[in-house]
Amino acid sequence: MLTSRRALTLAVAGVVSAIPLSAQRPAPARASSEYLYLWTASADSSGPDFLAVYDIRENPKAARYGALVTTVAVPGRGNGPHHTEHDMPADGRLFANGFRSGQSFVFDLRNPRAPRVETHFGDIAGLMHPHSFWRLPNGNLLSTFQMQHDSAGMAPGGLVELTPRAERVRSSSANRAPGSRSDRPYSAAILSDLDRVVVTTTDMDKADSTRNVQLWRLSDLSLQRTIELPLGPHFEGYRSAEPRVLADGKTVLVSTFNCGLFLLDGLLSTTPSARMVASFPRKAGTSCAVPVVAGQYYLITVPAWSAVVSLDVSDPSHPREVSRVTLGPDDVPHWIGIEPNHERVVITGYQAMKTRVLMATFNAKTGALALDERFRAAGSAEPGMRMENITWPHGGNGAGIPHGAVFSRSR
C-alpha cells in the first residue's frame, strides 16, 4: 500500500490485462468558452430558482472576467436545482433537473445573454424524478429516472429517450427484470459502438444502499445484466455514482460516493465484472462525487483532502495521481465541469462552498491543476465568486446555491 500523502491507495484484484487507450479521439478545439452557466437554488425559499450566466471571456475587450451577465428564473419554488447536462450541447438547449420537485427544465441558450426557459416536464411514462441527462449520437437525450409507482409502493425507475424539446421517444423500466427494488437509476455512460449503457443505482433519498451497476442494451433499452461492485476494505463499493467512458470509447470507470474507483471488465460478455483500481480517504458527512475525463486524465473531487485530484488513467488498471488543487479546509467540492478545450475546470460544492464557485486551470498535456486566481469578485481578496448579497437580474435577491455548472461551447 502506498503511504505518501499524494499517493493513491491502489487495490487490484487478480491479473487482468487492461484495455489499451490507443484509439484516442480527436483533440478538442482550442477556442475558449465565453460563458459559464450555473444552475442555482435560491437560498430564500420564497424566491425562484434560476440559471445564472457569467462572462468568462479572457480577451482585453471583454467585460470583467467573471462578471454576472444575467439570470433566468424557472417556474415554481423549491425545485432543488441539481444536475444539468455535463457538456453544453450543439443545439444550445440545456437540460437541468430540479430533483426535489421532480420538475426538469430545458433552457434555450442559443443567445447566452438572453436565456429563456423553453419548456419543463415532470413524470414521463409513469417514471418519476429524472436525474442525469446524456446526449445520444442522434442528438436526442437519454435520461435516468429514479423511481416509479407500482402496486407494492415505489419501484425502481428506468431510462427515457427524449428529443431536445423533452418529447418522449421511448422508455424502459428498470423494474421489468429480476433485481433489487433498491436500485434507483442514477447516472449513465453511453457506449454507442458497443450498443451498451452503463447505469449506476444510488438512491437519491438515501433510503437504500447497494453496490449494483446495471448494463443495458442501447438499441432497445433492455436491461441485460446487473453486477455488484466489490465490497472494498472500507466499503468503497457501496453507492455507485458516476460511470465515465475513457478516451478509447470502450473502457468504463465507475466512481462511488464511498470514494472507490472501479474498472469494468467484459461489458459484452455473459459474465461482466468490476474490480477496484483506486480508493480515496473519506470525510464524515461527505462523498466523493462528480468526475470528468480529459484525454488520458480523470479528474475527481475528494472532500477528505478538500481537493480536486487529477489521475493519469492511460493504464486504467493502475490510475496514478499527477496533480491536485487544494481548496479551503472547510470547502467540500462536489460538482466539477470542464471547458470544451480542457483548459479550465469549474467547481461547486457544499459547506464553505455552498454559495461559492471556484475555477481551476488545467494543463491537458501534463494533467496539472491550479487555482485560477483571476476568477474572483471585484475587490475581493479571496478567489472564486460568492453568490451572496446580490440583487439578481430576474428580480430575486439574497444568496444563490449553485450545483450543476457547464461551460458554453467553444466558438
- Condensed to tens digits (0 to 9), the pLDDT of residues 214-246 reads 999 999 999 999 999 999 999 999 999 999 999
Query: Which pLDDT does position 14 carry in this prediction?
Result: 33
Structural domain includes residue 197 = yes
pLDDT category at 361 given cuts 50, 70, 90 is very high
pLDDT above 70 covers a percentage of the chain that reads 89
Structural domain includes residue 249 = yes
Is 50 exceeded by the pLDDT of residue 12?
A: no
Farthest-apart Cα atoms in the chain, separation: 62
Structural domain includes residue 399 = no
pTM: 0.91
Best CA proximity match to 66, nearest among 375, 405, 393: 375
SS3 for the chain is CCCCCCCCECCCCCCCCCCCCCCCCCCCCCCCCCEEEEEEEECCCCCCCEEEEEECCCCCCCCCCCEEEEEEECCCCCCCEEEECCCCCCCCEEEEEECCCCEEEEEECCCCCCCEEEEEECCECCEEEEEEEEECCCCCEEEEEEEEEECCEEEEEEEEEECCCCCEEEEEECCCCCCCCCCCCCCEEEEHHHCEEEEECCCCCCCCCCCEEEEEECCCCEEEEEEECCCCCCCCCCCEEEEEECCCCCCEEEEECCCEEEEEECCCCCCCEEEEEEECCCCCCCCCCCCEEECCEEEEEEHHHCEEEEEECCCCCCCEEEEEEECCCCEEEEEEEECCCCCEEEEEEEECCCCEEEEEEECCCCCCEEECCCCECCCCCCCEEECCCEECCCCCEECEEEEEEEECCCC
Structural domain includes residue 131 = yes
Q: Give the C-alpha separation, 272 to 260, whole Å.
A: 18
Query: Which pLDDT does position 301 carry in this prediction?
Result: 98
N-term to C-term CA, the chain: 46
Structural domain includes residue 185 = yes
Q: Which cell is 172 given?
A: 424502459
Is 80 exceeded by the pLDDT of residue 151?
A: no
Query: Which pLDDT does position 396 carry in this prediction?
Result: 82
Domains in the chain: how many in total?
1
Among 4-8, 270-274, 394-398, the range of highest mean pLDDT: 270-274
Which region among 31-45, 61-75, 189-203 has the lowest average model confidence (pLDDT)? 61-75
Structural domain includes residue 388 = no
Measured from the Cβ of residue 107, the count of other Cβ atoms closer than 10 Å reads 23
Query: Which pLDDT does position 11 carry in this prediction?
Result: 38
Structural domain includes residue 375 = no
Q: Which cell is 82 given?
A: 441539481
Over residues 82-104, the mean pLDDT reads 96
Structural domain includes residue 236 = yes
CATH number, domain of 187, equals 2.120.10.30
Look at the block and give the residue holding cell 423500466: 173
Is 80 exceeded by the pLDDT of residue 22?
A: no
Query: Which pLDDT does position 30 carry in this prediction?
Result: 67
Query: Which pLDDT does position 152 carry in this prediction?
Result: 67
Over residues 250-272, the mean pLDDT reads 97
Q: Give the C-alpha separation, 409 to 155, whole Å.
A: 38
Is 80 exceeded by the pLDDT of residue 411?
A: no
Structural domain that includes position 212:
124-282
Q: Give the C-alpha separation, 261 to 230, whole Å.
A: 10
